Structure formats: C-alpha cells, structure tokens
Amino acid sequence: MTQPVRTAVFPAGGLGTRFLPATKVVPKEMLALVDKPIIQYGVEECLASGIEHIIFVTGRGKSAMEDHFDFSPELDATLERRGKKELLDVSRRVATMARISYVRQKEPLGLGHAVLCAKQLVGNEPFAVVLPDDVIEAPRPCIAQMIDVFSQHGGSVLATMTIEGPAISAYGVLAGSADSANPRLYNCTGMVEKPKLADAPSKQAIIGRYILTPRVFELLETTKPGAGGEIQLTDGILALLQHEKVYGYTFEGKRYDAGDKFGMLQATVEFALNRPEFADKFRAYLKSLPL
C-alpha cells in the first residue's frame, strides 16, 4: 500500500522573464488564460484529483496570488449591492475552493530549491509538484492519472510527453526503457537536462507535473547548484534514482506552456474555442481573418 498523495506544491517563485514586459509587476502565474489566472487551472486540476492541501512557493512581488485566493470584501459588497449574484459566486468560490499555505522563496535559486522550501509544510509523505505555467487539458486530470500510477507502482512519477526533433532541447529528457506491460510507463534510469538532439537519450520529455516521495527533500538539501547556479529539481531526482524507482508517465491529454508567449497564444485560441458561451462567435471570427 502506498501512502495517499494529499499535498501539491506549486513553485511560483520564478521571475517569468520569458513573458516580459507583462511580468515586470504582474506575476506570470496571474496572467489570464481567457478569464482565469493560469495558476487557477492547476489548482482546479489538483482539487479534481483529490488533493487536499496546496502549497504555493512564492517570492517578491507575488502577493497578487494570495489576494486572488482570498475574499475581496469591497468587490463582493459591490457585486451584492448591484445584484450580480453569479459574479459574486465566482469571486467567493475562488476564495473558498482550496486550503492553501504559502512559503516564501527569498531568492530564485532554482526549481529544486523552491520545492525544498516546502519541506516543513509537506512533512514525511508523498506529494505532487505542479508547475503552474504548464496548463493541461485532459479527459482525466493529469495529477489524478499520475496518482493512479503511483498507487499501483510506488516510486516517483514524472509526467512526460513524446517530443520529435530539435524541440527536445528545451526539456529534461529521460533515459531508460518503455515498460513492457504498459506503453505509457517508462522505467527511468537517468535524465539529461536540455540535451542537444544528438545527445538526447530518448524522446520522453519531462513536463511540469511530478509525484515525488519525501526522500527527495533530504537529497535536495545536499544537491549542489548545477546549470545557471541554480539547484535543479532534476539533480534531486537523479539522486533519488539511486534509492528507488522513478517512472516516466506519458499522460493522456494536451499540455500548453502558458509561461511562454507563443504557448499562451495557442492555449488562448484553443481554450476560447472550447468555451460554449463564445465558441461559435470566436470560430466565425477566426474564419473571417485573411490568413
């Protein structure tokens, strides 16, 4: 029997430089995809996967995230006075949807360091890591799919996508072999951060969803800064491989990199086309463009 996965850590201490100038003051996690901040998609995915406690690792200039998931008395009073019941429900639902704790990463010293900042709040149990700028649309929430794999196999589980060609160089890439019984499962023996195409050990690219065992914390504590002087999560997971199984899991669904300008544009178009209230109007508009 594996322990239940009850907690999800959202590293959100990064600077979001790929989205400047929008992210000079506004945290990238608060950029809207259609009408919701991108971080809310990740929170909703976790809640739909049975996660009970969410930990945001924040940093300087990120207080808008805390305000977003809190009550907004002036706004709510105004909506109530104007009889805007539906909008009032939208505002209040965000404040009450999840049990959220916050921990501050005082300097952006890397993703591994951000995860380590959540150690005390997570405690000695397996946990999920959600990179909020990866927005995933899936028939079953990605974290729920990964918890299924974890319950069956134990170990740690990294969500992957199959990437063809030179685009692989933007990702951490798994080494190992596909599982003979389950084609979505990959028995990981190593990983390489952002390899050249010729050096990539496979086409299995790691994306921003992980289920990790708490042993990763003690390993991150002794992980030396790697690429860019940052403490890399992949180095911590490589150390984990010396002690326990690590699986890649090709999740079912589609991932959008909403922390990148082009990825956000793709997500905006596709999410808008899925919104019943303006899908037809938006489709007609796109068709009218002289492309």
Task: List own/partner pairs for 282-285 with CB under 8 A and 24 or more apart.
Answer: none
Provide the 3-class DSSP secondary structure of residue 234: helix
Q: With binding defined as CB under 6 A, does residue 114 bind ligand UTP?
A: yes
Q: With binding defined as CB under 6 A, does residue 109 bind ligand UTP?
A: yes
Provide the 3-class DSSP secondary structure of residue 129: strand
Q: Is the Cβ–Cβ distance between 155 and 246 less than 8 Å?
A: yes
Cα–Cα distance for residue pair 45/222, rounded to 1 Å = 32
For residue 101, the minimal CB distance to ligand UTP (Å) is 15
Query: What is the gyration radius of the CA atoms in the chain, in angstroms?
Result: 20
Taking CB positions, which residue lies at the least distance from ligand UTP? 14
Residue 43 tokens, joined: 């929170």
Closer to ligand UTP by CB, 109 or 239: give it: 109
Q: With binding defined as CB under 6 A, does residue 133 bind ligand UTP?
A: yes
Q: Which stretch binds ligand UTP (CB under 6 A): 6-14, 191-199, 237-245, 265-273?
A: 6-14
Q: Which stretch binds ligand UTP (CB under 6 A): 130-138, 186-194, 236-244, 276-284?
A: 130-138
Q: Which stretch binds ligand UTP (CB under 6 A): 9-17, 87-95, 220-228, 261-269?
A: 9-17
Q: With binding defined as CB under 6 A, does residue 16 bind ligand UTP?
A: yes
For residue 54, the minimal CB distance to ligand UTP (Å) is 14
Type of residue numbered 167: A
Provide the 3-class DSSP secondary structure of residue 115: helix
DSSP H or E segment with residue 247:
strand 246-250
Q: With binding defined as CB under 6 A, does residue 132 bind ligand UTP?
A: yes
Q: With binding defined as CB under 6 A, does residue 259 bind ligand UTP?
A: yes
- β-strand partners of 246: 156
Cα–Cα distance for residue pair 163/203, rounded to 1 Å = 5
Closer to ligand UTP by CB, 134 or 204: give it: 134
Binder among 8, 43, 65, 111 for ligand UTP (CB under 6 A): 111
For residue 105, the minimal CB distance to ligand UTP (Å) is 5
Q: With binding defined as CB under 6 A, does residue 15 bind ligand UTP?
A: yes
If you write DSSP's letter for every residue of 15-55 in order, what string do you get? --GGGTTTTTTS-GGGSEETTEEHHHHHHHHHHTTT--EEE
Binder among 108, 195, 214, 225 for ligand UTP (CB under 6 A): 108
Closer to ligand UTP by CB, 261 or 283: give it: 261
Cα–Cα distance for residue pair 127/54, rounded to 1 Å = 10
- What are the φ/ψ torsions at residue 184 (nearest 5 degrees)? -85, -10
For residue 27, the minimal CB distance to ligand UTP (Å) is 8
- Pairing status of strand 246-250 against strand 185-193: antiparallel
For residue 104, the minimal CB distance to ligand UTP (Å) is 11
Q: With binding defined as CB under 6 A, does residue 207 bind ligand UTP?
A: no
Q: Which stretch binds ligand UTP (CB under 6 A): 16-24, 64-72, 119-127, 159-167?
A: 16-24
- β-strand partners of 247: 157, 187
Which residues make up the interface to ligand UTP (CB under 6 A)?
11-19, 57, 105, 108-111, 113-114, 131-133, 259
